[in-house]
Structure 1
Amino acid sequence: MICRRPRTTSSAIVAAALTLSFGTAPMAEETPQRIVAVGGAVTEIVYALGEESRLVARDTTSNHPPAAVALPDVGYIRALSAEGVLSVNPDMILSETGAGPIETIELLREAAVPVVEVNGGFSREAIGEKVMTVAAVLGVPEKGSALAAQVDAEIAAAMAEIDTAHRPKVLFVLSTAGGRVMAGGENTSADAIITLAGGQNAAVGFEGFKPITDEAIVTSGAEVILMMDRGGDHDASLADLKAHPSLGQTPAVQKGALVRIDGMLLLGFSVRTGQAISDLAAALARVAS
C-alpha cells in the first residue's frame, strides 16, 4: 500500500501546526535554519529528510540516529528549560505534541521563538501526516511525499510477513517500580504496535498507561510480556517478574516469554515503524510458539 497523500496542502499543514502550537507566532518568511527538535519522532524525521544540518539542539528523547546524541540536550520533552533552549539561539522549536512545561513554552513565545507542534498519533496515516508536516515546515514537501510513501511501503511489507494464525496476548509493562505494574491499555502507542505486529493487547478495559490491578494481570492470560529495553528503576529482570505476585502467575512469565525492544523504536511511530513491526512480530513468533 502506498501512503495516501494527506488531503491538506503543505501550507495548510503548517498553518494548522502553528495554530496548534502554544500561541500563534507567525511563520518566518524564510525557512528555519536553527531548529531545536523536541521529540524523538520529529528528530528522526528531520534526519530521514536529510535536513539535519539545520538542527542546533534536541531533547532527551531524541536518541536516534546516533548522530543526534551529539547535539546539545535541552532536557526532557515535558521538562524543557527555556534558558537551555534559548542558549542555542534557535529560530524555531519543532516539537511533538505535549512539550512543556507550559511556563517554558510561554517564555519561548515571549522571546518570539515560534513553537510548531507536530500532531502525534499511532497509526500508519498519522506517521504520514507527521512526515508531511515536518517536511512542509522545513520547506521540502517533495522530500516529504517521497519519505511518507517509503515509510508506508515498509510498514505494508512488514505487516504482509506476519503470521496471523495465532495472535498472542501481549501485556506491555511500562514499569514495575515499587511493585506496582504500569501497563499500556487501549488507545496507546503500545496497544497500536502490538496490534500492527499481529498480537492482541492483554490490557483491556482501560485507556492510557495506567496502573493495572493484580487481578487484571492474573486474568489477562498474557502469553508475552513486552517491555522497553532500558535500565534504571523502571526496568525488571525475568527473575523480578517471576517474583512478582501477579506477573509471576501469567503464562508469559511462567514460560519466560519476555520481549524487550528499544522504546523509541517500539513506540515512536516515526520512520522506523516498519522495522519495529518486523522486530516485534519476529519476537512474538519466537517466544509465543
Structure 2
Amino acid sequence: MRRLVALRAWALAGLLLVLLAVGGHADAATVQVTDDRGARIAFERPPQRIVTLLPSLTELVCALEACSRLVGVDTFSNWPSSVTALPRVGGLDDANIEAIVALRPDVVLAAQSTRAVPRLEALGLKVVALEPRSFADLRRVLGVLAPVLGARDAAAAWREIDQGVTAAARELPASLRGTRVYFEVNSAPYAASESSFIGELLARIGVVNVVPGSLGPFPKLNPEFVVRADPQVIMVSDRQATSLRTRPGWDRIRAVRDGRLCLFTPRQGDALVRPGPRMPEAAALMVRCLQGRPTGEGP
C-alpha cells in the first residue's frame, strides 16, 4: 500500500511538471506588441485571418509573406494583384463594420486615424493601429508586424527595402545630384515637403526638395510659392499635368519652360505615395525620370 501511494505521488508530480512545462511554453509563445496608440495587444498564435484598412499595411503584410492570410482589404489596396480579388471593407473614414465582423478576422490592421477602431474593439475584435509615415516609421512598423504574423524576419524585409533604395540612388549621375525638384501630390496644390517620406526619398536619391519641411509633410501651397521656388523638375501625376501650363505664372517656371516634367501613371503614383515595400520602385521611377528616360509602366 505504501508503495502504491508513493507511485501515485510520483505520477502526480510528473503530471504537474508536464502541465507547468506546457504552461510555460504557452506564455513564451505569446507575442505582445505596442501599436501607435500606445495600446498593448497580445497574440497567443499568429493570426490566420487578417483585415487591413490601409494600402501600405496591405503591402507590408504581403512583404512579410503573409498575403495568403488576408481576408479583406480597404478600398484602395491594389498591390500585389492577388489582393484585388478580396472583399473591400472601406477605409479611414468609411470602414464597413458589419462587413469586417462578417469576415471573422483574428486581427484588423488599421491606421491610428481610422474612425472605426474604437467600435471594432468594442465588438471584441483585436485591432493593431499602425501608420508608417517615414523611413523610420516603416522600419518600426515592420518590427511590430513581423512577430505578430510569425512570418518573415523584419530585419530582412527592411534590408531589402533600404538596399533597394540605395541601389536606385546610385543610378543617378553626379551631374544631376542637387537638382531642385517639386513633387505635387494633388492639384490643389498639395506638395510633398522635405519632412514627408517622399521628401526623404528625394533626399536619398540626392536631389533637393524646394518645399521646406517646416511647412508640414504635405502642405497646401499658394501656386505663387512654386513660381518663386522655380524648380528645375516637377514630379506629378499624368492626370494633373495638363493643368500645369494654364496656372498663372507657371509658364515662367524653369521645369515647365524646359519641359522637365516627370509624369507618373496612377499605378506608378501608388508606388510613389505609399511608404512600403515598393519604395525601391518609387526611387527607381524618380531616377529614371530625372535622367530623362521614359518611365513606362515599370520601375
State if a TM-score over 0.5 links the two structures. Answer: yes
What is the match of residue 33 of structure 2?
15
Look up the SS of the partner of 1:98 in the other structure.
Answer: coil
CA-CA distance at 1:277 after TM superposition: 0.8
Q: Which structure is higher in RCO with an 8 Å CA cutoff and minimum separation 6?
A: 1
CA-CA distance at 1:274 after TM superposition: 1.4
Measured in 2, the distance between the counterparts of 1:117 and 1:83 equals 19
Would the alpha carbon gap of residues 61 and 271 (structure 1) be closer, same or farther in structure 2, given more than 3 Å must change?
A: same
What is the match of residue 14 of structure 2?
none
Would the alpha carbon gap of residues 57 and 269 (structure 1) be closer, same or farther in structure 2, given more than 3 Å must change?
A: same
Structure with the largest fraction of helix: 2
What is the match of residue 247 of structure 1?
250
Q: Which amino acid is 1:157 matched to?
A: A
What is the match of residue 3 of structure 1?
none
CA contact (8 A) 1:162 1:281 kept: yes
Length, aligned pairs only: 260
CA contact (8 A) 1:173 1:184 kept: yes
What is the match of residue 25 of structure 2?
none
What is the match of residue 153 of structure 1?
163
What is the match of residue 232 of structure 2?
223
TM-score by length of 2: 0.78
Equivalent residue in structure 2 for 1:98, among 66, 89, 112: 112
Q: Percent identity, please.
A: 25
CA-CA distance at 1:79 after TM superposition: 3.1
Q: Which amino acid is 1:280 matched to?
A: M
CA-CA distance at 1:283 after TM superposition: 0.6
CA contact (8 A) 2:37 2:112 kept: no
Q: Which amino acid is 1:146 matched to?
A: A
1:36 aligns with 2:45: no
Q: Which amino acid is 1:115 matched to?
A: V
1:236 aligns with 2:240: yes
What is the match of residue 7 of structure 1?
none
1:27-74 CA distance string (max 9 Å, x none): 231221111012222211221222112110011232111111111111
What is the match of residue 123 of structure 2?
111
Look up the SS of the partner of 2:51 in the other structure.
Answer: strand
Measured in 2, the distance between the counterparts of 1:151 and 1:186 equals 20
Look up the SS of the partner of 1:211 in the other structure.
Answer: coil
Would the alpha carbon gap of residues 131 and 12 (structure 1) be closer, same or farther in structure 2, given more than 3 Å must change?
A: farther
What is the match of residue 278 of structure 1?
284
Measured in 1, the distance between the counterparts of 2:141 and 2:220 equals 30
1:192 aligns with 2:200: yes
1:106-137 CA distance string (max 9 Å, x none): 110111111112341322x4433332322111
Look up the SS of the partner of 2:91 in the other structure.
Answer: coil
Q: Which amino acid is 1:269 matched to?
A: P
What is the match of residue 94 of structure 2?
79
Q: Which amino acid is 2:147 matched to?
A: A
1:175 aligns with 2:177: no
Give the RMSD, CA atoms, in angstroms.
2.5
CA contact (8 A) 1:198 1:281 kept: no
Measured in 1, the distance between the counterparts of 2:237 and 2:32 equals 33
What is the match of residue 3 of structure 2?
none
Would the alpha carbon gap of residues 106 and 169 (structure 1) be closer, same or farther in structure 2, given more than 3 Å must change?
A: same
Q: Which runs of 5+ in 1 are unaligned?
A: 1-10, 230-234
CA contact (8 A) 1:78 1:98 kept: no
CA contact (8 A) 2:193 2:216 kept: yes
